[in-house]
Each structure stands twice: as structure tokens, then as C-alpha cells.
Amino acid sequence: MMAPAWTEAHQLGRVLVVDDEVELMSALCETLAGHGYDVVGRSSGREALEVLKEQDVDLLLSDLMMPGMDGVRLLPWRR
């Protein structure tokens, strides 16, 4: 019997993709979701911070240079 898609995605992990280039962020989200990951995409560091406050993520994939809060400032954040 095949496991439901949400179970597979949960087993592979949740990824937060952050990039101010919305097209790139969307493409990365679609690709990772297509491989079975549970993916959340945001287009700014501040939006990503809100996700990090509310959800656990296994991997943060972030653009380093973004206006406002860059990817480096997101790295040390813990819930």
C-alpha cells in the first residue's frame, strides 16, 4: 500500500525557500515539491522570519543578498 503524499513529504522534510526574485523562488519550490518535499516559499527575510516563528523547518534555502533582511541574518534564528 502506498503512503499518502503528505506522509512522504513529511518524511523527506520541510524546506523554507527565501528569495526576493519571486520567479526563482517559485521555481525552486515547485522543483522541491515535485521531489516530495514539503515546501514553503517566501520573497523576503521578514516574511521568512514569520514562518520560522510559527513552523519548524528542516532546511532553510535562502538568497544571501536581499533588500531589508538578508539571508545571513536569518541563519541564527531559532524558535
What pLDDT, in 10s, does the model give residues 33-57?
Answer: 999 999 999 999 999 999 999 988 9
Cβ proximity of 18 and 74 under 8 Å: yes
Residues in the chain: 79
User: Over pLDDT 70: what percentage of the chain?
Assistant: 85
Domain boundaries, the chain: 5-65
- Going by pLDDT thresholds of 50, 70 and 90, the confidence category of residue 79 is low
- Separation CA 53–CA 45 (nearest Å): 12
Enter the pTM of the model.
Answer: 0.80
Fold of 5-65: Rossmann fold (3.40.50)
Is the pLDDT at 22 greater than 60? The verdict is yes
